[in-house]
A = this chain, B = another copy of it.
């Protein structure tokens, strides 16, 4: 019997999805499970998008151009130019989700054995994409105490070797919610120019910036045009994760021309997502205003509740819809499994993502979890009640329970 590949054996399982069998079991036992493990928002997809689907009038569901339809790319260029990206539609390659934009960017830019620096915790699937491309991830620790801000540039420089070819940032960040500042991006620009590195910018959460903060992209930085590759998706922007529609953006013509060959090999992105994506660009501003108001309320609720729990700490992030919280636990993988398997509060429990899967350094994140605030406020309150109670009865709790709480537990 032929063997699976080395990659097939080494490929990491998703930390977001790997506990699913325990959640399914809990549901079969009649427990209600609050899913804070995955960034699948409950927000409705804009009507203009759904209507574009319902109103299709073609007879042959055909391939589109490998780079995406001209009409969608032109409309996307309009969207990005409103954000002052100053690009033309030729700078855009339409992809099957943001995931494909990342894999194509890695394939087009990096050789096997090349190194890529990523501040950790980071989006867990970067590990998988790097494994697929035989690229080596060099993590650089960011810290919960300063809200997971960009590590000092001197820390990046310590990691740079002749094999270093790129840096990935996710902004606003998944899993931490941290929004990088103009100054942080300018510092990265200097670094990338000094060492001739690509800057991969994953901007899946661009629309979700709170408290009046502004989103800054590396696309806004003059002189970095040849180094920047933006990896984008409509998944979160329009709550359209199931569309699998993303894009790769770069002004570097050699990269775009290599990327196009990878895109041609897989023939074309989906036709219907592109029709819907084109319509989505006309989503009224009021949609985003309302959504951001809702996410802000949810974030505030979650951060407040978490910080009220004894021994827990959660920074208040500026964007996206995730937080990474520190909990008084010995092992987040064990805890996230235990809360599904052995715990219930009023017949309810919570599914969370252990933060360990978002770190590449072994041992990091063992007392941290990632929570997605993708449920409504009522459900979030219920989930926080569960978590609070679970922390009191978890056998691996690392903190003595204070007298007042002991009564309650």
Contact = CB atoms under 8 A, between A and B. Distances in A.
A194 interface: no
A270 interface: yes
A196 interface: yes
A226 interface: yes
A261 interface: yes
A111 to B, nearest CB: 5
Given A50-B61, A60-B43, A111-B7, A244 B261 contact: no
A376 interface: no
Contacts of A38: 63
A261 B268 CA distance: 23
A262 B10 CA distance: 11
Nearest to A197: B2
Contact of A8 (B12, B100, B238, B261): B261
Interface string A29-65: 0000000001011111100011001111011111110
Interface string A255-292: 10011011011111111110000000000000000000
Interface of A: 1-9, 11-14, 17, 38, 40-45, 49-50, 53-56, 58-64, 66, 96-97, 99-100, 103, 107-112, 114, 125, 128-129, 132, 134, 165-166, 196-198, 226-227, 238-244, 252, 254-255, 258-259, 261-262, 264-273
10 contacts: A4-B108, A7-B107, A11-B261, A40-B63, A44-B59, A49-B61, A50-B61, A61-B243, A99-B267, A244-B269
